[in-house]
Amino acid sequence: MSQETGYDASLWLIFILVGLATTLPRASFIVLGSRILLPSVLQRALRYAPAAALAGIVVPDILLVNGDLSPFNPKLAAAIATVAAAMLSRNPWLPFIAGMGTLLTLRMGLGWQ
């Protein structure tokens, strides 16, 4: 067996193992369904998983500018305006308008980057 085919076989094995490692945990919830119940503590914790994942993606983008922590940047000001508008109004469009208006004003009007 040549060196090249050895790499090909190991690469395919890695692909298959990674595919199984990502598919089996997801499929277990579908296959097992309601036959197995998760502990109530875990069920309560899983309710916060989407919000935690979203925060993990959004917060670094808001706080960091070019990889450095920047407390004075237009994205943070827009995020604060968005949260304030969401807390003060039940209008679903107002947070979007307040956040984008703040971001565009600071970036284009005042020249903040």
Render pLDDT for 59-95 as a digit per residue (tens, 0 to 9): 999 998 888 888 888 999 999 999 999 999 999 999 9
- Strand 64-65 relative to strand 68-69, pairing: antiparallel
Domain boundaries, the chain: 1-36, 40-113
Contact residues for 77 (Cβ-Cβ < 8 A; gap 6+): 102, 103, 106
Tell me which residue of 63, 67, 56, 57 sits closest to 79, measured CA to CA.
Answer: 63
Range 9-37 average pLDDT? 87
Angle (deg, nearest 10), helices 74-88 and 49-63: 140
pLDDT at 3 over 80: no
pTM for the model stands at: 0.61
pLDDT of residue 1: 47
Confidence of residue 4 (pLDDT cuts 50, 70, 90): low
CA 40 to chain centre: 25
